[in-house]
Amino acid sequence: MKKKIAIISMTLLVGGLLYFTSIRNSKAYEYGPPLGCTNSPGDGASCAYAGCHTSYALQSPKPWISSNVPLAGYTPGSTYTFTARAIYMGRQAFGFQISPQNSAGKTLGTLIVTNATTTQTGTYSTTTWIEQTSNGYLATDSMVWSFNWKAPVKGTGNVTFYGCFNCANNDHSSGGDYIYPATLLVKENTTAGVDNISAAASSLNVYPNPAKENITLSYTLNEEANTEINLYSIDGRMISKLASGMVTSGEHIQDLKLPLEIKPGIYLIQLIANGQSTVQRIVAE
Domains of the chain: 2-186 (2.60.40.4060), 203-284 (2.60.40.1930)
Whether the pLDDT of residue 129 is over 90: the answer is yes
Pairwise pLDDT comparison (47 vs 82), residue with the higher score: 82
User: Does the bond joining 61 to the residue before it have cis omega, within 30 degrees of 0?
Assistant: no
Average pLDDT over residues 229-244: 83
pLDDT at 203 over 80: no
How confident is the model over 242-271, as pLDDT tens digits? 999 898 988 899 999 999 888 888 888 888
Q: Mean pLDDT, to the nearest integer, of 210-218?
A: 90
Mean pLDDT of the chain: 82
Using the Cα atoms of residue 121, residue 124, residue 15 and residue 164 in order, give the sign of their dihedral. positive
What average pLDDT does range 172-179 have in this prediction? 84
Which range is least confidently modeled, 117-131, 151-165, 177-191, 262-276? 262-276
**What percent of the chain stands above pLDDT 70?**
84
Q: Does the structure show a pLDDT above 90 at 273?
A: no
pLDDT top residue among 110 and 75: 110
Contact present, 84 and 166 (Cβ < 8 Å):
no
- Edge-to-edge strand list for the sheet holding 159-168: 119-124, 127-132, 93-101, 159-168, 178-186
For residue 201, what are the CA distances in angstroms to 229, 231, 246, 247, 255?
12, 17, 14, 12, 17
How would you classify the pairing of strands 142-150 and 79-87? antiparallel
In the predicted model, is pLDDT for residue 11 greater than 70?
no
Q: Of the candidates 82, 112, 104, 89, which has an alpha carbon nearest to the alpha carbon of residue 182?
A: 82
pLDDT confidence band for 192 (50 / 70 / 90): low
Buried b (16+ CB within 10 A) or exposed e, 106-142: ebbbebbeeeeebbbbbeeeebbbbbbbeebbeeeee
From 166, 127, 163, 128, select the one nearest 40 (Cα to Cα). 163
Mean pLDDT, rounded, for 214-219: 90
Q: pLDDT at position 232, please?
A: 85
Residue 8: pLDDT above 50?
no
More confident residue, 198 or 146: 146
* pLDDT value for 271: 85
Residues 226/119/85/143 CA torsion (nearest 10 deg)? -130
Rounded CA gap, 189 and 102, in Å?
Answer: 17
Closest to 115 (Cα-Cα) out of 150, 81, 64, 68: 81
Q: How far apart are CA 232 and CA 239, in angstroms?
A: 5
Average pLDDT over residues 227-251: 85
The better pLDDT of the pair 266, 182 is held by: 182
Q: What is the pLDDT of residues 32-45, one digit of tens each?
A: 888 999 999 999 98
Distance of CA 99 to the CA centre of its chain: 7
Amino acid found at 44: G
Q: Which residues have a Cβ under 8 Å from the Cβ of 263 and sit 6 or more positions away?
A: 284
**What is the mean predicted confidence (pLDDT) over 93-98?**
95
Query: HSE-up of 76 (CA within 13 Å, CB side)?
Result: 19
> In the structure, what pLDDT confidence band is assigned to residue 30 with cuts at 50, 70 and 90?
low
pLDDT at 2: 42
For residue 255, what is the enclosing H or E element?
strand 250-257
Q: Is the pLDDT of residue 77 over 60?
A: yes
